[in-house]
Chains A and B, each alone.
Chain A
Amino acid sequence: MAETLTKNHEILEGPQAPRQSRFVQQFRLFKENRLAVVGLVIFLAFFITAVAGVVLTSGQDPVFNPSLVRLQEKLQPPLSLPNLETLKAHEVPTLGIYLLGTDDLGRDVFARMLQGAWVSLTVGFVAVGIAVIVGIFLGGLAGYYGQEGICYDQILDFLLLLSGIIFFILKWHKLGFGLFTAGIFMMILSFRARRVKQNRFMPGWLHKSAFSFDTLIMRMVDIMLCFPSFFLILTVVALLPASIYNIMIVIGLTSWMGTTRFVRAEFLSLREQDFVSAAKALGLGNFRIIFRHMMPNAVAPVLVSATIGIATAILTEAGLSFLGFGVPPPYATWGNILSDGKRFIFDAPWLTFVPGIAILIVVLCFNLFGEGLKDALNPKLRQE
């Protein structure tokens, strides 16, 4: 593609190599990692199974009925045939065989696993989605605006407003209302004082910066990391009504710290890069600089940690369900199939092994996929 256009006696230059997009290069690198490709394939299979599962097991008359009780057929081993004489027509499993056996109530474990796959998938993705959004937001703030100081008067405002709201919720209406009004009044006052250079409204030390914004967010991260997160989740879930959405939100809100640290670190190093300085010098707004110039360069490690985070979220949900704090029955999840099965571990080991191995495979494939992604997105490995 050598160009010999000339103008002003000058030869115009351009790259000689054939065009190869970043994505193609990354995919080629990814393909070289066998285990990662296996991870990706299993992940896709899991995804299709989960989506098919939710379609096939829900509705009034599902194809696979996960909650149909057949007491006469309980604890059948995998691949056993149903006894057609004792079963009514609609009770016969759709495949004509108990592919993964039946549990202590005679429910088809295959149908229950299908239903549970959707729970695992959604819990994984939604929880990690929440964690990533919170993490990117807080990490971006800490990394980009981190050096901005927080002043004593702002802390005071915040405490007044917060205590006002708390007292109000505790039904101490008068005190709460008073504190809230004082907070708003103070906010207006400090806003005025900030506009006027020579202020006589407030003492000067109130405008000194107490600590930086970065310190605030990163100490919040440290505090969150101090709690053993599984027990924090257990506590919160015990207080909240049991539902799958609460579990997603709680897992999400207790796992954003890693992403925050990643994004902050990326932003701190990107902020000093010349192309960001150039964007500032061109007069672009902060919003455009953050989302158009910095974020695309910061998402690679976030993507990797998110993939591994999905695996952790699936494990956490399974753990919660196993302990009985998870998704309420009769809805099946891999965790509560496992939990129900443990009482029959010697009589019907498939009740423990089937969901256990499924969790193992899915978590492992997410981890392998994440590792492969990390290598593929690493710019140092791209050129050869």
Chain B
Amino acid sequence: MALTDNHKNAVTLQVAGLKKYFPVHRGFFQRVAARVKAVDGVDFEIGPGKSLGLVGESGCGKSTVGRLILKLLEPDGGKIFYKGRDISHLSPREMRPLRQEIQIVFQDPYGSLNPRMTIGQSIDEGLRCVGLSKEGRKSRREELLEMVGIWPGAADRYPHEFSGGQRQRVGVARSLSVNPSLIICDEPISALDVSIQAQIINLLNDLQSRLDLSYLFISHDLNVVSYISDRVAVMYLGHIMEYADTESLFEKPLHPYTLALLSSVPKIDDTGTRGAHTPLKGDVPSPLDPPPGCKFQGRCPRVEERCRKEEIQFSRFDGDHWVRCWKASP
């Protein structure tokens, strides 16, 4: 994905060849015995005010991508550009001012708020970073809470008094407290009831249009992602398998893995019959010892000899539709 400098500045976030290998220590001297290739060469970009859905099974490395972009983890290779600036190797001190630009909303609404702080104090931690005075913090806190649909008078309540959906709203308010332009949503609705899921999705959509936010929306549910994303990247075992506009991906899925994910979404059609459902066989192979060639070969219904031998390249199918499968190439 060769890009001109001009284009680089126009996108909010660009990730190129991102890698993270976790060492596995063994033995008395804690030698590095193996490496888990959690993220193994991931490329994508997010434009201003756009959202990208990152979809994959658990353990495929999608949350790791989120944490790498936030620099909560150090990448082992590849580059992260934020508004054209390479942030992949910034020291924690150099990263400090940029922290306010990229924020995160977590999956678990129970673990993401400090149980010993009132929600007002939790939000204040962010406002303090922006450098607001005490009065400024108070009015901004009320504004933020109202923005996410929480009654501002509840600021002096503790997180355990709120329901899961309410806590998730507070989590959103906290991440908005530093006026970010990119929010990484790390499965923000997976832990919620279906009715609450819709509320949070609507809230996120609403905030995006109001505040011109960009989202990296991490989820394991393709269906949910379709409501919020402009583009979708399908991840499997540290690789991106397919990367396309949301409509294009749903209309014309190219990779067998995407097909399998789509067919796993229950459908109701006019005839009342269930759509053809081809469940995936087997399990995700261990990222400690991934198969050679295509990572998906063990579970692919269309597997051939070439898939087992060759490293499959990520190639453009047409327009902006990318896929990592040689059979899909035009």
Contacts and interface: CB of A to CB of B under 8 A. Distances in A.
A281 B70 contact: yes
Interface in B102-117: 102-104, 106-108, 111-117
Given A15-B154, A277-B72, A280-B72, A10 B149 contact: yes
B282 interface: no
A296 B129 contact: no
Interface in A9-23: 10-15, 17, 19, 21-22
A296 B114 CA distance: 10
B151 A297 contact: no
Given A278-B174, A279-B125, A282-B178, A15 B116 contact: no
A7 interface: yes
A78 to B, nearest CB: 50
B112 A282 contact: no
Contacts of B114: 275, 279, 293, 297
B166 A13 contact: yes
B100 interface: yes
Contacts of B122: 275
Contacts of A297: 114-116
A379 B158 CA distance: 14
A325 B258 CA distance: 77
Nearest to A209: B30
Nearest to A11: B149
Contacts of A19: 157, 161
B270 to A, nearest CB: 33
B326 interface: no
A212 B30 CA distance: 10
Contacts of A58: none
A222 to B, nearest CB: 15
Given A13-B150, A281-B103, A282-B129, A274 B108 contact: yes
B149 A3 contact: no
Among A5, A12, A21, A297, the most chain B Cβ lie within 10 Å of the Cβ of A12
Interface residues of B, number: 47
Measured as residues with beta carbon below 8 angstroms from the partner, the interface class of chain A is 20 to 34
A284 B104 contact: no
Interface in A364-384: 379, 383
B129 A283 contact: yes
A283 B153 contact: no
A195 to B, nearest CB: 13
B154 A14 contact: yes
Contacts of B72: 277, 280-281
B158 A22 contact: yes
A58 B167 CA distance: 57
A8 B161 CA distance: 25
Interface string A259-291: 000000000000001110111111110000000
Given A17-B161, A274-B108, A278-B106, A296 B116 contact: yes
Nearest to A277: B72
B262 to A, nearest CB: 30
B247 interface: no
A21 B151 CA distance: 19
A3 B99 contact: no
Nearest to A19: B157
A282 B99 contact: yes
A21 B116 CA distance: 11
A281 B149 CA distance: 23
Contact of B149 (A12, A273, A296, A383): A12
A15 B154 CA distance: 7
Contact of A277 (B30, B106, B153, B206): B106
B134 interface: no
Of all A-B residue pairs in the complex, the 4 with the closest CB atoms, nearest first, are A283-B99, A14-B151, A14-B154, A274-B112
Interface of B: 30, 67, 70, 72, 95-97, 99-100, 102-104, 106-108, 111-117, 122, 125-126, 129, 146, 149-154, 157-158, 160-163, 166, 169, 171, 174-175, 177-178, 206
5 contacts: A10-B149, A14-B154, A274-B112, A283-B99, A297-B114
